[in-house]
Amino acid sequence: MKRYYTRACNFYYGKESKYLVSKKKTLPLNNNKEISFDNIEIISRKTKKKVSINNLNSLPKLLKKKIKLDLKIITSKKKNFANLNFQKLPNIMGVLNLTPDSFSDGGQFNNKNKGVDHAFRMINAGANIIDVGGESTRPGSKSINERVEWNRISKILKSICKKFPVSLDSRKSKVMEKGIKIGVKIINDVSGLNYDARTINILKKYKIPFIIQHSQGTPENMQNNPTYKNELLDIYDFFEERINFLRSIGIKHKNIIIDPGIGFGKNLKHNMNLISNISIFHTLGFPVLVGNSRKSFIKEISGENDTKHRIGGTVASSIYLMMQGIQILRIHDVNELIQGLKVFKELLKN
């Protein structure tokens, strides 16, 4: 049979979603009645077709069987971990860059007092977890020595890991292991576990939750004319291959998050297609994280160049992503985003 992919679509949120689920007119995403859907899009490399969940019996027998298996995955409840609650969307991962050269906030928080203070501000504003990074992976950046990376983050990690949940943004296994021993709760590898061959051994040894991000190329060259046959399906296949590989080497736990990597080896068209169709990744059966905050697609659409002036585009895209059931948003401006989400959710109650 031709390869088909299933994308949940036409979502409802809040009070309306709960009502429709109770009337069996929609299916709850991840068994969460707060967000549900009543259509799927059946996608192949050459075709797309939207089908109501009430019309699945009209599909060919083999295709119907595949779709129903996919729907079972999409509607299954997610297990919570690392202070992330997948029955309350979205979770917010606050960004703490301890670098001199990150694309939007390099040099702002890279001393102990400023870094710790900013982490507390994000937690107090409502962030569920803080993502700490000591190496910039902005387009054009080069890798740094692991000793330099660790020196940038170690003091702050030791200060905050005992106080609230921390994710470690690193591509290097030695940095990961040191962070885990201090108390880091999640490993966030933007290379998709491809940069350091020992990373897999560390993840297996400590059984720690981790994020697999898709990235085409390396930060140094990833924006040099990125190309795909079909970015949405190519990236879906990448995650499927990675998960199958992890299972084959004995990593069986479900505490894995997938991140399609907005801006990592993607142009504006790729980013827009990924965000517009982001709900396809629910079919993989894992929580989905998106790092949309202050990204270049906002500049390219709005014409606003300064990375500090992209809060509007961040809030708009975050609300859209929430309405597609995305479980985690990686955000710089935590207070502003949570303010926007609170207002939006309150309006939905009326």
Task: Please tell me whether residues 252 and 173 are part of one structural domain.
Answer: yes
> pTM of the entire structure?
0.94
Query: For the range 63-66, what are the long-range contacts, defined as Cβ-Cβ under 8 Å and sequence gap of 24 or more?
Result: 63/1, 63/4, 66/1, 66/4, 66/6
At residue 308, the pLDDT reads: 77
Q: Known catalytic residue: 242?
A: no
In a domain, 82, yes or no: no
Establish if 84 belongs to a structural domain. no
Respond yes or no: is residue 349 known to be catalytic. no
- Confidence band, pLDDT 50/70/90 cuts, at residue 289: very high
What range defines the domain where residue 64 resides? 5-75
Residue 179 tokens, joined: 């962070």
* Shared domain check, 306 and 249: yes
In this prediction, residue 315 carries a pLDDT of 97
Pairing of strands 256-259, 32-43: unpaired
66, 125: one domain: no
Report yes or no: 188 and 167 within 8 Å, Cβ to Cβ. Answer: yes
| Domain termination residue (choose one: 75, 105, 130) | 75
Cβ neighbours around 304 below 10 Å, total: 14
- Pick the last residue of a domain from 25, 46, 75: 75
- Measured CA to CA, the distance from residue 270 to residue 1 in angstroms comes to 28
pLDDT in tens, 262-281: 999 999 999 999 999 999 99
My answer on whether 96 and 132 are in the same domain is yes
Take residue 102 and report the two structure tokens written for it. Answer: 């990150």
Q: Is residue 323 part of a domain?
A: yes
Whole-number pLDDT of residue 108: 59
Residues 186 and 265 in one domain: yes
Considering the domain boundaries, does residue 85 fall inside one?
no
Judgement on whether residues 63 and 151 belong to the same structural domain of the protein:
no
- What one-character-per-residue DSSP string does 248-280 give? HTT---S-EEEE--TTSS--HHHHHHHHHTGGG
Catalytic annotation, pick one of 308, 330, 342, 345 = 330
Distance CA 61, CA 69 (A): 13
Q: 86 in a domain, yes or no?
A: no
Q: Which residues pair with 50 in a beta bridge?
A: 41
Cis amide linkage into residue 219, ω under 30° from 0: no
On average, the pLDDT of the chain sits at: 92
Distance CA 251, CA 253 (A): 6
Q: What pLDDT is recorded for position 13? A: 96
Q: Which long-range contacts (CB under 8 A, 24 or more apart) does 294-298 make?
A: 294/103, 294/104, 294/332, 294/333, 295/262, 295/263, 295/271, 296/139, 296/263, 296/268, 297/262, 297/263, 297/268, 297/271, 297/272
Instruction: Return the pLDDT at 219.
Output: 66
Tally of structural domains, the chain: 2
Non-local CB neighbours of 250 within 8 Å, separated by 6+ positions: 204
Are 140 and 21 members of one domain? Answer: no
In a domain, 319, yes or no: yes
Give the pLDDT score at 303. Answer: 87
Q: Are residues 48 and 172 in the same domain?
A: no
- Give the CATH number, domain containing residue 278: 3.20.20.20
Domain boundary among 50, 75, 100: 75
**Is residue 281 assigned to a domain?**
yes
Above 90 in pLDDT, residue 107?
no
Task: Assess contact for 31 and 97: CB atoms under 8 A.
Answer: no
Judge whether 81 lies within some domain.
Answer: no
Is 156 found in the same domain as 51? no
On whether both 37 and 112 belong to a single domain, the answer is no
One domain for residues 71 and 115: no
pLDDT (tens digit per residue) in 29-66: 999 999 999 999 999 999 999 999 999 999 999 999 99
- Give Cα 43 distance to the centre of its chain: 22
Of the residues 7, 138, 295, 310, only one is catalytic, namely 295
Report pLDDT digits (tens) over 112-151.
678 899 999 999 999 999 999 989 877 666 778 899 999 9
Q: Where are the beta strands (DSSP E) in the chain?
A: 5-13, 27-29, 32-43, 48-52, 91-97, 129-133, 166-169, 186-189, 210-213, 256-259, 289-290, 328-331
Q: DSSP secondary-structure letter at 292?
A: -
Q: Are residues 171 and 41 in the same domain?
A: no
